[in-house]
Amino acid sequence: MSTVTVNISFQDALLRDIDRVARGEARSRSELLREAAREYIRRRERWSGLFAAGQTIARQKGLKPEDVALEIAAFRAMKGQRP
Protein backbone atom coordinates (compact mmCIF):
# COMPACT_ATOMS: atom_id res chain seq x y z
CA MET A 1 0.00 0.00 0.00
CA SER A 2 1.48 3.35 -0.96
CA THR A 3 1.48 6.32 1.38
CA VAL A 4 1.18 10.03 0.77
CA THR A 5 2.56 12.73 3.02
CA VAL A 6 0.15 15.53 3.90
CA ASN A 7 0.57 18.77 5.79
CA ILE A 8 -1.95 19.53 8.52
CA SER A 9 -2.16 22.36 11.03
CA PHE A 10 -2.98 21.90 14.72
CA GLN A 11 -3.23 24.34 17.58
CA ASP A 12 -0.23 24.04 19.88
CA ALA A 13 -2.24 22.59 22.78
CA LEU A 14 -3.80 19.89 20.62
CA LEU A 15 -0.43 18.93 19.15
CA ARG A 16 1.01 18.64 22.66
CA ASP A 17 -1.86 16.32 23.59
CA ILE A 18 -1.32 14.24 20.45
CA ASP A 19 2.39 13.94 21.17
CA ARG A 20 1.78 13.11 24.85
CA VAL A 21 -0.63 10.28 23.97
CA ALA A 22 1.66 8.99 21.21
CA ARG A 23 4.62 8.90 23.60
CA GLY A 24 2.50 7.18 26.24
CA GLU A 25 1.61 4.47 23.73
CA ALA A 26 5.16 4.23 22.36
CA ARG A 27 4.12 5.08 18.82
CA SER A 28 4.67 7.85 16.34
CA ARG A 29 2.46 10.85 15.87
CA SER A 30 1.61 9.55 12.39
CA GLU A 31 0.52 6.16 13.72
CA LEU A 32 -1.73 7.79 16.30
CA LEU A 33 -3.32 10.14 13.76
CA ARG A 34 -3.84 7.32 11.23
CA GLU A 35 -5.65 5.28 13.87
CA ALA A 36 -7.72 8.30 14.92
CA ALA A 37 -8.75 8.91 11.31
CA ARG A 38 -9.67 5.24 10.80
CA GLU A 39 -11.71 5.21 14.00
CA TYR A 40 -13.50 8.43 13.05
CA ILE A 41 -14.40 7.02 9.62
CA ARG A 42 -15.55 3.71 11.13
CA ARG A 43 -17.72 5.47 13.71
CA ARG A 44 -19.16 7.83 11.10
CA GLU A 45 -20.09 4.91 8.82
CA ARG A 46 -21.67 3.04 11.73
CA TRP A 47 -23.80 6.05 12.73
CA SER A 48 -24.77 6.61 9.10
CA GLY A 49 -25.95 3.01 8.93
CA LEU A 50 -27.94 3.35 12.14
CA PHE A 51 -29.62 6.55 10.96
CA ALA A 52 -30.43 4.98 7.60
CA ALA A 53 -32.00 1.99 9.37
CA GLY A 54 -34.00 4.33 11.59
CA GLN A 55 -35.24 6.29 8.59
CA THR A 56 -36.25 3.07 6.84
CA ILE A 57 -38.20 1.89 9.88
CA ALA A 58 -39.85 5.30 10.31
CA ARG A 59 -40.83 5.34 6.63
CA GLN A 60 -42.24 1.80 6.81
CA LYS A 61 -44.30 2.69 9.88
CA GLY A 62 -45.38 6.05 8.48
CA LEU A 63 -43.75 7.99 11.31
CA LYS A 64 -43.02 11.70 11.06
CA PRO A 65 -40.25 13.54 12.95
CA GLU A 66 -42.79 14.94 15.41
CA ASP A 67 -43.98 11.37 16.18
CA VAL A 68 -40.44 10.39 17.09
CA ALA A 69 -40.02 13.51 19.25
CA LEU A 70 -43.26 12.69 21.10
CA GLU A 71 -42.10 9.10 21.74
CA ILE A 72 -38.77 10.32 23.08
CA ALA A 73 -40.49 12.81 25.38
CA ALA A 74 -42.90 10.12 26.63
CA PHE A 75 -40.03 7.71 27.32
CA ARG A 76 -38.05 10.36 29.20
CA ALA A 77 -41.12 11.27 31.27
CA MET A 78 -41.73 7.60 32.11
CA LYS A 79 -38.06 7.11 32.98
CA GLY A 80 -38.16 10.14 35.28
CA GLN A 81 -41.11 8.67 37.22
CA ARG A 82 -39.32 5.46 38.15
CA PRO A 83 -38.33 5.15 41.83
Give per-residue pLDDT as tens, 4-36.
999 999 999 999 999 999 999 999 999 999 999
Q: What is the pLDDT of residue 68?
A: 84
Q: Is residue 79 predicted with pLDDT exceeding 90? A: no
Q: What is the pLDDT of residue 81?
A: 75
**What span, in angstroms and rounded, lies between the C-alpha atoms of 35 and 19?**
14
| Angle at the Cα of 17 from the Cα atoms of 39 and 13, rounded to 5 degrees | 120
pLDDT in tens, 33-78: 999 999 999 999 999 999 999 889 989 999 988 988 898 999 999 8
